[in-house]
Amino acid sequence: MNVVNAESSNGASKVLVVLAHPDDPDFFCGGTVARWTSEGSKISYCLLTHGERGADESGTDVTELAQIRMAEQKAAAKLLGVDTVLFLDHPDGYLMPNLELRRDIARVIRQLRPQTVITCDPSTHFPRFRSINHADHRAAGEATLDAVFPAARSSLYFPELETEEGLKPHKVDTVFIAGSNHPNTEVDVTQFVDQKLAALAQHASQIRDMEAVKDRVRERMRDPQSPADNPRYIERFLRIDLR
């Protein structure tokens, strides 16, 4: 497995994180984001929904919850040094990897022109074979990968982005796919675990027992090869180099 260690950053100055909901970046890649911003990368988030269905109780005001969740995500992103947080207006819980969503993501890629894109794995139905992956996560990953290749990089896909909006094609160099059951890359985030957890703590509307979440996240990230009294923490990705 490829290890991105303390001496080797992502090698990119601009990174775009494309995920479905507020709080997804902090769960999927918060340690990596904290590390890369500390190394000088300019990181932007593109959240495809406002997370307005992030509750189970009937009678929830989805408009109010959307505002809360967007504010929580902006606060969390600030703690990790994220440069920009964008929200697209797609409906939470009903994401579909259709042409509209693909075009909207391709538009953002052409606007921000990142070298690296982080998204999630559309093939992961059962994360770590312990749970069921949210359908929005799978849709977000599929649409993002289809936007990266070939839609964002070719003038022949969504030509109106260039002819009507002046957005020229852009080729992404590398994709880091989070939540994969078949990762090939580890990022050492030992020094950034506390930052990641502080970002997660901003999502009070979603996390009822933060101490339990902290314990669960630490255990999930702990390198099983590291000693218990001096653990190493990692985030795992399926890395695809497109250059």
Residue 4 covered by a domain = no
Rounded Cα–Cα distance for residues 12 and 202 (Å): 27
Residue 169 covered by a domain = yes
- pLDDT (0 to 100) of residue 133: 81
Residue 186 covered by a domain = yes
CB 48 within 8 A of CB 20: yes
pLDDT tens profile 89-136? 999 999 999 999 999 999 999 999 999 999 999 998 887 767 788 899
Q: How many domains does the chain have?
A: 1
Residue 117 covered by a domain = yes
pLDDT tens profile 130-141? 778 889 999 999
CB 236 within 8 A of CB 183: yes
Provide the domain limits for residue 179. Answer: 12-53+61-241
Residue 113, burial from CB neighbour count under 10 angstroms (0-12, 13-18, 19+): middle
Residue 5 covered by a domain = no
CB 200 within 8 A of CB 207: yes
Task: Provide the strand spans (E) within the chain.
Answer: 2-4, 14-19, 42-49, 84-90, 116-120, 174-178, 185-188, 234-241
* Mean of pLDDT values over 205-234: 94
CB 44 within 8 A of CB 86: yes
Residue 80 covered by a domain = yes
**Residue percentage of the chain with pLDDT more than 70:** 95
Instruction: Give the predicted TM-score (pTM) of the model.
Output: 0.93
Residue 7 covered by a domain = no
- pLDDT (0 to 100) of residue 232: 97
DSSP designation for 120: E
Residue 192 covered by a domain = yes
* CATH code, 219: 3.40.50.10320
Picking from 73, 40, 35, the residue whose alpha carbon sits closest to that of residue 54 is 73
